């Protein structure tokens, strides 16, 4: 952790996000309790790195610490009380976490006059955060309404659908639209087209912001 500083924090941040995506895919590719026991510490470590990388935005860092503590408490409660309400609370806190990460990253990336490798990597991290944030929203939707998105098998544990929903989110964010999963409920349809619009405008805003910063 000591090696993370303001000149390389987004490099570590991006690697931790990619590791979360990979471990989520592995949990589906190689099922088994032993693997899950191995993946949980990896995911936890990745979240710690994400949080530590955000320490340079003081206001949002405090917000993220508070949300992280609440998430940890929610996980402990969920261990003893496995209910739909507990799942919803955890997903709401996850949304709050990704919102804070997004705001913190935007402040450091889009409002900077300096463009270097760390800044460019941060723009990739920001895109990944957007995809994961929308994935958390979709998980919340299918927890409330299991038929909100077709092709997603209902599950009482949102973690089992994390990888599939993340895939669906990034396919939507990049406007690829493979069609293997489709929104059915009105709220899911609204979320999908809003994410697609966000993805298109993100590319335009980030490119223009970085180019203008480079010219200063």
For 135-182, how does the pLDDT look when each residue is reduced to its tens digit (9 = 90+)?
Answer: 999 999 998 898 899 988 776 666 678 889 999 999 999 988 888 899
Asked whether residue 33 is assigned to any structural domain, the reply reads yes
d(CA 7, CA 118): 6
CATH number at residue 26: 1.10.287.70
pLDDT number for residue 141: 92
Residue 70's domain spans which residues? 9-215
The share of the chain scoring above pLDDT 90, in percent, equals 25
pLDDT category of residue 185 using cuts at 50, 70 and 90: very high
Residues 6+ apart with CB under 8 A from 1: 48, 49, 52
Over residues 46-62, the mean pLDDT reads 79
What are the pLDDT digits (tens) for 1-12? Answer: 667 877 888 888
- Report how many domains make up the chain: 1
**Contact indicator for 127, 84 with CB cutoff of 8 Å:** no
Residue 37 binned pLDDT confidence (cut-offs 50, 70, 90): low
Per-residue pLDDT at 184: 93
Distance between CA atoms of residues 168 and 24, nearest Å:
13
3-state secondary structure string across 121-176:
HHHHHHHHHHHHHHHHHHHHHHHHCCCCEECCCCCCCHHHHHHHHHHHHHHHHCCC
> Domain for residue 1, yes or no?
no
Quick one: average pLDDT of 94-118?
Answer: 83
* Cα separations in angstroms, 72 against 40, 58, 78, 90, 210: 13, 21, 10, 9, 36
Give the pLDDT band (50/70/90) at residue 27.
confident
What pLDDT is recorded for position 108?
79
Q: Is the residue at 171 inside a domain?
A: yes
Q: Is the pLDDT of residue 39 over 80?
A: no
Domain-embedded: residue 3: no
Question: Could you tell me the pTM of the whole model?
Answer: 0.88
**Per-residue pLDDT for 208 more than 60?**
yes
Collapsing DSSP to helix, strand or coil, 183 comes out as strand
Is residue 38 over pLDDT 80? no
Mean pLDDT of 84-93: 84
């Amino acid at each position: 952790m000591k090696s993370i500083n303001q000149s390389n924090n987004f490099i570590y941040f991006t690697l931790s996000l990619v590791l979360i995506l990979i471990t989520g895919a592995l949990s589906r590719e190689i099922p088994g309790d032993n693997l899950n026991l191995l993946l949980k510490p990896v995911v936890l470590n990745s979240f710690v790195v994400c949080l530590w990388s955000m320490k340079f935005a003081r206001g949002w860092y405090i917000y993220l610490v508070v949300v992280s503590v609440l998430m940890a408490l929610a996980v402990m409660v969920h261990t003893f009380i496995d209910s739909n309400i507990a799942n919803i609370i955890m997903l709401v806190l996850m949304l709050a976490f990704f919102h804070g990460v997004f705001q913190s990253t935007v402040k450091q990336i889009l409002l900077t006059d300096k463009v270097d490798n760390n800044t460019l990597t941060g723009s990739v991290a920001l895109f990944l955060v957007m995809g994961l944030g929308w994935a958390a929203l979709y998980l919340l939707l299918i927890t409330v309404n299991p038929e909100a998105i077709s092709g997603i098998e209902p599950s009482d544990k949102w973690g089992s659908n994390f990888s599939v929903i993340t895939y669906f989110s990034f396919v939507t964010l990049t406007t690829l639209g493979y069609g293997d999963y489709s929104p059915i409920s009105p709220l899911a349809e609204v979320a999908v087209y809003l994410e697609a619009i966000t993805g298109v405008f993100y590319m335009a805003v980030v490119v223009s912001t970085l180019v203008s910063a480079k010219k200063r």
